Structure 1
Amino acid sequence: MSKFDVLTIGNAIVDIISRCDDRFLEENGIIKAAMNLIDAERAEHLYALMGPAHEASGGSAGNTAAGVASFGGRAAYFGKVAEDELGKIFAHDIRAQGVHYETKPDGTFPPTARSMIFVTPDGERSMNTYLGACVDLGPEHVEPEVVAQSKVTYFEGYLWDPPRAKEAIRECARIAHENGREVSMTLSDPFCVGRYRDEFLDLMRSGTVDIVFANRQEVLSLYETDDLETALQNIAGDSKLACVTLSEEGAIVVRGTERFKIEALKIDKVLDTTGAGDLFAAGFLAGYTAGRPLDVCGKMGCLAAGIVIQHFGPRPMVSLKEAGQEAGLI
């Protein structure tokens, strides 16, 4: 028996979201639609430049855990915050979603991570992230019994930036596989892929990771190609199961020679793409751990992604379980 469907591991971040135009990004040296790592000084500088902002607990894997819970799945989360106001906000928010979260903070410095997210009129988000307390996540924060009792342990590629987190992930993978569980990762960002391409490929080819999530830009970066078909064939050979999201074109799920094309949810207006990939993973894994067919899992992912991009913030504001029931997927 498993106690949890999905355990997610990631950088525990509070998102501070504000609107801007493309000119603002250019004037302030912000790479559009990417995650830019920044230091404390630049974090303060960008925060001072922000217009009216919306604060929401985020972090890629935290968003995925919240999404799994919204589908009615049993979710757990590992991620490091500090004993400060933003840390309290993060812990409260994720527990309020019904997610098991017991990672202990260690004092007030470094402070809880925060990401200044600038959303342009086209809905694209450009993230500027100060990792703060996240960099202290290490093997000592692993709860072995939670890993052993989770059907799938999922982690974000961003964790390859803080070095000690790698040790924690490898320990989780060892425990998961010893207990007959599966391990999943998201490639997170094309620039992240560029930094760790060889290591990510090794994780897949060695069997450390069983399920891979990527978007179009990430999978093209992984295989250093401009041809999506080439990338899809490669990832099908390198991983047991892979999901590639394609924005308004939906997603493709590949497992060996099997391939499923999933249509995107029809929506009127994209408000904020923050969390779209995270919620796709949530929907897919909620379906996968419930034993649903891969095409249905993909449809659950596209449903969740389509819902979250219609409002501000990275976490669902409606019951995804109810939405899935209305769509005939649950």
Structure 2
Amino acid sequence: MGAEPLLPTANESQPAAPLILGLQPAALIDHVARVDPSLLDRIPGDRGGSMPVGMEELENILREVKSYILSSPDVLTSFKTIAGGSVANTIRGLSAGFGVSCGIIGAYGDDQQGKLFVCNMSSNGVNLSRLRMIKGPTAQCVCLVDAMGNRTMRPSLSSAVKVQANELTRDDFKGAKWLVMRYSIFNMEVIEAAVKMAKQEKVFVSLDLASFEMVRDFRSPLLQLLESGDIDLCFANEDEAKELIGGEKDADPEVALEFLAKHCQWAVVTLGANGCIAKHGKEIVRVPAIGESKATDATGAGDLFASGFLYGLVKGLSLEKCCQLGSCSGGSVIRSLGGEVTPENWQWMHKHLQIKGLPVQEIPQ
């Protein structure tokens, strides 16, 4: 069965093109749990990082997590299931927290997880008219978070449905201003097709470097993508930036920033608790982290940084203010579990934006 676009309902027929589109070939559901080391010791693989697993093993881990939580009333635990994926996090943040018209391009399965993804994204105001339904399973990931906010992830992606390059059309990109993507060697055909069509429609392209492992292991095709000149904005965290310029531990992130800026109009390197550095043209800015908060869960920090930065760009703000928006937005999501900002943490963010004199939308309910 081929991909079927999710059709708009009668009262939203022919919606205006979203200002910002996200390309996430495979919809993803995150099962996020706060756990202590005793559970992590029972999960296959090393702590930290991400290790792919089959669907049967993912379901076994989920049963173990739920059993652990039910039997540990005296341990600080919590559990949530939400739409996940880096691009989905960014798009949801732009729509729900900043009021930007957003849509997502990709595919979800005809299963309960696919329905959950659709429900979560649509309830946050994301346009789903470019999201296809394909017969098969929706991708899932178990995210285990320890007391320090560190993550151990077990994704099951190999058998999941995803949109293919030949299923994209120029109509998917028509009328948009920005396309948001995440680098993945496993989606290169889709990425390359999307970039080509986006450029034909005069859409700006934003790329997140995804992970230092992805940069290290597949650096050559990444360099080709950057050197094409089709990437207008690139986000990298400090580890990804170092891998990009050779992987030296003591490498200066500013060197990576300069490298990115040779190929992209806007280049940004996030530095965790040390804020970020960014360059546009000849201008370079360094912005400290905003707000003091111990990370409950680092999931989505970079994704929500991108939400704030892109909001600043579409508002025509200065590079420094774009970075401040990104820093504050990224800081809001680490205050709770999962890559979705709660209404309380949107309020925290808006308070800090007002202190900085930055534009804010109505606080989500």
Corresponding residue of 2:358: 329
Given that 2:177 and 2:204 are in contact with CA atoms closer than 8 Å, whether structure 1 keeps it comes out as yes
Corresponding residue of 1:14: 29
Corresponding residue of 2:62: 47
**2-structure distance, mates of 1:297, 1:33:** 31
Question: C-alpha root-mean-square deviation of aligned residues, in Å?
Answer: 2.2
Q: Quick one: structure 1 residues 27 and 238, their matched pair in 2 at CA, closer, same or farther if it must change by over 3 Å?
A: farther
Given that 1:237 and 1:256 are in contact with CA atoms closer than 8 Å, whether structure 2 keeps it comes out as no
Corresponding residue of 1:106: 134
Corresponding residue of 2:267: 242
**2-structure distance, mates of 1:7, 1:19:** 31
Superposed CA deviations along residues 82-102 of structure 1, whole A, max 9, x for unmatched, are 111111010011011111113
User: Which segments of 5 or more consecutive residues in structure 1 lack a partner in the other structure?
Assistant: none
Corresponding residue of 1:263: 288
Identity %: 28
**1-structure distance, mates of 2:286, 2:43:** 39
2:103 corresponds to 1:76: yes
Corresponding residue of 1:85: 112
Cα displacement (A) at 1:206: 1.0
Given that 1:80 and 1:133 are in contact with CA atoms closer than 8 Å, whether structure 2 keeps it comes out as no
Given that 1:186 and 1:214 are in contact with CA atoms closer than 8 Å, whether structure 2 keeps it comes out as yes
Cα displacement (A) at 1:122: 0.9
Given that 1:82 and 1:133 are in contact with CA atoms closer than 8 Å, whether structure 2 keeps it comes out as no
Rg comparison, structure with higher value: 2
Cα displacement (A) at 1:231: 2.4
**1-structure distance, mates of 2:215, 2:46:** 16
Corresponding residue of 1:3: 17
Amino acid at match of 1:9: L
User: Which segments of 5 or more consecutive residues in structure 2 lack a partner in the other structure?
Assistant: 1-15, 70-78, 360-365
Cα displacement (A) at 1:18: 1.3
TM-score normalized by structure 2? Answer: 0.82
Given that 1:262 and 1:298 are in contact with CA atoms closer than 8 Å, whether structure 2 keeps it comes out as yes
Cα displacement (A) at 1:27: 5.7
Corresponding residue of 2:51: 36
Corresponding residue of 2:200: 178
Corresponding residue of 1:200: 222
The one of 153, 158, 164 aligned to 2:179: 153
Given that 1:34 and 1:191 are in contact with CA atoms closer than 8 Å, whether structure 2 keeps it comes out as no
Q: How does 1:54-65 map to 2 (within 5 A)?
A: 54-65=80-91
**2-structure distance, mates of 1:86, 1:296:** 38
Q: Aligned with 2:279: secondary structure?
A: strand
Given that 1:35 and 1:189 are in contact with CA atoms closer than 8 Å, whether structure 2 keeps it comes out as no
Amino acid at match of 1:104: R
**1-structure distance, mates of 2:271, 2:171:** 36
State the aligned residue count: 323
Amino acid at match of 1:263: P
